[in-house]
């Protein structure tokens, strides 16, 4: 069965600093990988996804992620963090089942942004 | 489109009571998912539907939980009887059919359930 590990429960950065959130996955086939963001009191919103092609994918809100098969990683990055980026970030790996990609989510990383 | 709509947004009930959570998916989406989010267990998939038919309910914790989708625009998640350990945020999500972007799920705002 697939699984996702997000090693960092909390990450604190200063506004304007760069950001990298770590994600490691376990999946027997070609992974379908996602990053979602959850703002307080809201549902999850897709930031970006990867299935094939260029291993560096661009997403919304200035985020990007790089797929590294050799490391089973899909880390999320942003060059300059804004205070509005403070949220919970979830990495997920999708397994195709019943006609849809069913994501298994990591436990999430809470991003705290200091002014 | 208004997005995925869930009601109520907050529910407080007493142990033993029946709780019904409601979801309206995005029009035209073929898949509907119910998730539960807790601090202890994170985000768990409970059940999902394709064209109103339950496909996988292996995540439903026990017989006290049931879900239905009587039509393409409405689904319910029912807990009967409710217990304090059911306290969580319950999310509904929907997505398109395979080949039309089935990979992206659109989440509702969630229902925060508190069972006293």
Quick: pLDDT tens for B12-26. Answer: 999 999 999 999 999
Q: Would you say the C-alpha torsion B14, B15, B16, B20 has a positive or negative sign?
A: positive
Q: Which residue of A has its CA nearest to B40?
A: A107
Query: If you compute the radius of gyration of chain A from its CA atoms, what whole number of angstroms results?
Result: 14
Q: Which residues contact A87 (CB under 8 A, 6 or more apart)?
A: A37, A38, A39, A40, A110, A111
d(CA B27, CA B71): 11
- Counting Cα atoms < 13 Å in the Cβ hemisphere of A105 gives 24
Q: Which residue of B has its CA nearest to A95?
A: B103
d(CA A65, CA A77): 6
Three-state DSSP at A60 gives helix
State pLDDT tens for residues B42-62. 999 999 999 999 999 999 988
Classify residue B24 as left (phi > 0), alpha (psi -120 to 50) or beta.
Answer: beta
For residue A70, name the pLDDT band (cuts at 50, 70, 90): very high
In chain A, what residues touch B42 (CB-CB under 8 Å)?
Answer: 105-108
pLDDT at A26: 92
State pLDDT tens for residues A23-47. 999 987 778 899 999 998 888 999 9
d(CA A76, CA A71): 14
d(CA B101, CA B113): 31
Of B98, B109, B110, the CB nearest to A99: B98
Cβ atoms B49, B116 nearer than 8 A: no
- Which two structure tokens, joined as six digits, stand for A3? 């699984």
d(CA A59, CA B102): 18
Q: Between the CA of residue A73 and those of A80, B35, B97, what are the distances in Å?
A: 22, 25, 28
A39-62 average pLDDT score: 91
pLDDT at A96: 79
Q: Between the CA of residue A15 and those of A80, A81, A82, what are the distances in Å?
A: 7, 5, 5
> Which residues of chain B from 45 to 84 reach within 8 Å of chain A, CB to CB?
45, 48, 50, 55-56
């Amino acid at each position: 069965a697939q699984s996702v590990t997000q090693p960092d429960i909390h990450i604190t950065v200063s506004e304007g600093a760069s950001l990298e959130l770590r994600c490691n996955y376990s999946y027997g086939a070609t992974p379908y990988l996602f990053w979602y963001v959850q703002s307080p009191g809201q549902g999850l919103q897709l930031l970006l996804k990867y299935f094939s092609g260029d291993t560096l994918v661009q997403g919304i809100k200035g985020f990007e992620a790089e797929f590294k098969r050799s490391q089973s990683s899909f880390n999320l990055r942003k060059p300059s963090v804004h205070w509005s980026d403070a949220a919970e970030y979830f990495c997920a790996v999708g397994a195709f089942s019943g006609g849809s990609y069913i994501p298994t989510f990591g436990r999430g990383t809470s991003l705290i942004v200091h002014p | 489109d208004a997005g995925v709509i869930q009601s109520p947004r907050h529910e407080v009930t007493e142990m033993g009571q029946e709780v019904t959570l409601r979801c309206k998916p995005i029009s035209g989406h073929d898949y509907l998912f119910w998730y539960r989010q807790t601090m202890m267990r994170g985000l768990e998939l409970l059940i999902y539907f394709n064209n109103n038919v339950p496909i996988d309910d292996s995540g439903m914790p026990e017989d006290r939980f049931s879900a239905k989708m009587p039509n393409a625009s409405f689904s319910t998640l029912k807990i009967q009887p409710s217990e304090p350990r059911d306290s969580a945020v319950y999310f509904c999500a929907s997505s398109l059919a395979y080949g039309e972007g089935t990979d992206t799920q659109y989440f509702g705002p969630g229902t925060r359930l508190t069972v006293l």
